[in-house]
Amino acid sequence: MNRMQKQRSIAPARQDGVVLLVVLMLLLLTTIVGYQVMETSSLEARMAVAREGKEISFQAAESIIDQAKNNETLLVTAFVAGLNGTSWPEQTYTFDGDAALNGNVEIRYIDEIATLGNDIVIGNPGLRSLHFELRADTGRTDDRFDSQHIQGIKRFAPKLF
């Protein structure tokens, strides 16, 4: 046997271990990449759930404020409480579609707003503009995804004196 034939017969035997090592390294690399993709997907899913929960809580607070600002009895009670210095009226709300979600609104009478511009537009100087602040707090019974929303509103009322 000449020298060239000896080298060819020896070379494949040395490469068998290298191929196994390369395949194991590729398998390890694939496992690490797959694990990272799985972790990223899990994090994105948790972020999406949190965002949805915060959005539902915020929308619930908006709904509570919409209901409260149209409740004239609550507004009158808040006006009287502001004049007398008593505690502000509150109302609790529950939601039919989500038993774990509930909310509370507090209505505060702030003050009478100057209505010169409004008097001109309305054409009735016998009205005054009352400013109220509505504070809605919503949340779940498990203390996740709480939300608070504050909105100011004004209502026209007749001048009594």
* Side-chain half-sphere CA neighbours of 161 within 13 A: 0
Residue 46, in any domain of the structure: no
Average pLDDT of the segment spanning 6-14? 54
Q: HSE on the CB side for 100, CA within 13 Å? A: 10
| 20 within some domain | no
The answer to the question of residue 38 being in a domain is: no
Q: Domain for residue 111, yes or no? A: yes
Identify whether 128 is part of a domain: yes
Tens-digit pLDDT profile for residues 44-59: 998 998 888 888 888 8
Give residues with Cβ within 8 angstroms of 30, minimum separation 6: none
Range in 76-80, 114-118, 154-158 the model is least confident about:
114-118
Distance of CA 54 to the CA centre of its chain: 2
- Per cent of the chain over pLDDT 70 is 80
Establish if 83 belongs to a structural domain.
yes
Residue 115 — pLDDT band, cuts 50, 70, 90? low
The parent domain of residue 114 ranges over 60-158
The pTM for the full model equals: 0.65
What would the mean pLDDT of 39-46 be, rounded to a whole number?
91
Band (pLDDT 50/70/90 cuts) for residue 85 is confident
Domain count, the chain: 1
